[in-house]
Amino acid sequence: MKPKLLGAPPTGGDWMYELKFDGIRLIAVKNGEKVNLISRNGNELADRFAEVAAAVAALPIDDCVIDGEVVALDEKGGSSFQLLQAHEMEGRRAPIYYYVFDLLQATGKNLIGLPLERRKELLASLCEGAADSIRFSGEIGGDPVVLLREVKRLGLEGVIGKQRGSVYEPDHRSGAWIKLKCVNEQEFVIGGFTPPQGARKHFGALLVGFYEKKRLLFAGKVGTGFNTKLLASLHKQLKAEKRDDCPFADLPSKQGGQWVQGITPTMMRQIAWVNPVFVCQVKFAEWTCDGKLRQPVFLGLREDKKAAEVGRETGR
């Protein structure tokens, strides 16, 4: 079930709120001793997060299906996608936890038609005594304005709102779940990279965009958020998908008589273009009036998202 992004808290309805996590959404499926951890695009990640799979296997139930998010926590206890990426790509050992927030099946019974509160009640009971790597994500309050103020003060990403009494709607974005963000952050598709300059090796900046009516539109250049090891690893992956032509439908182009972000026809020939198959997470200050990212920072690759599904998030 997918949350709908809103620019402001709803004024009506009966909502409960939980923390929004900055990790990888996973469905855990336990069947006897076998456990699968399945990402949003169907990838099996049980081997990658073996400690989480072992904790799910140890739950006191023969079979269950749980919805949650795997996160890496920083020193302040906040979830960090950058840390999770470092855990996967560089072997850096940040604490990994599976925050669980919904129970879709238990002991052979389909629970998605039950009210939200009952599903969470059953899940909380199931998680009592679970290994430390499984944590129940419960309600944190009812006033979203107060919550958002506190969440922002703590440097966290935002909150998720869920309508009380709602059923679980797999793969739908019905509006019964909403997300309210304190930071500007979303997925983008990588379409190319610029040559390195100065002391930097491998590449200078990534060119990223999003889909609108099946056209890949350019959103900006992302040149920060990389260390040397990440530059090398990304460059190797990107080179494997190189192509001759630009995948962006709107490059090169002019606005106000100027080439967009300095990408001239000459520069187009210097850029290395790649097939639009890689999805990355980017944090940024804001969208400019001409629809480009201001102060973007690379956070990591998203192997759990399909490139064709990446659009510009709006708070409507």
Active-site annotation, residues: 20
Helix (H, G, I), strand (E, B) or coil at 236: helix
CA distance 201 to 77: 33
Instruction: Please answer whether residues 49 and 134 qualify as being in contact, where contact means their C-beta atoms are separated by less than 8 angstroms.
Output: no
- Half-sphere exposure at residue 95, Cβ-oriented, CA atoms within 13 angstroms: 13
CB 196 within 8 A of CB 55: no
Compute the C-alpha angle 45/49/54, nearest 5°.
110
- CA 314 to the chain's CA centroid: 15
Cα distance between residue 168 and residue 67, in whole Å: 11
Structure tokens at 306: 């399909």
